[in-house]
Amino acid sequence: MLELYSEQTGATAESTAMLRDRMRADQVAMLVGALCSPRTKVTGQVFGVRGNEVIVFSEPLSAR
C-alpha cells in the first residue's frame, strides 16, 4: 500500500522510508494488545498511532 501511495503522490524514496518507519506493525500491535487486554476499560475511543506516539482523537474539549 505504501508503494501505491508513493506512486500516486510522487513521494521520494526517503519520504517513503520515513513512512515505513512511522507505520510499523509492531508499533500498532502494542496498542491493539492493550485494548484487547481483559482488564481494559476503554471503549468508544478513536486512537491515532504515529511511531511510538499514541493520540486520543475522540476526547471532547469544551472550547469556551
Partner 1 sequence: MFDRERCDCGRGLPADRDRRADVVSIAQGIYRPEGGTGSGPVRWTSRDRLPGGHFSTGSAQRDGRGRLQPRDRHALAQRVKCRAGLAPVVPRHVFFTSTAGSYGEELPANYAAAKSGVIAINKVLTLETAGTAIRTNVIAPQRGRACWNYIRSRPGRQRNPRQC
Positions that interact with partner 1 (CB under 8 A)? 9, 18-19, 22-23, 25, 28-29, 31-33, 35-36, 38, 40-53, 55, 57-58, 61
Q: Which residue has the cell 519520504?
A: 15
Q: Minimal distance in Å, beta carbon 59 to partner 1?
A: 9
Query: In terms of Cα–Cα distance, which of 25, 27, 56 is closest to 43?
Result: 56
The number of CA neighbours under 13 Å toward the Cβ of 29 is 3
| Nearest CB to partner 1, comparing residues 9 and 13 | 9
Q: Minimal distance in Å, beta carbon 18 to partner 1?
A: 7
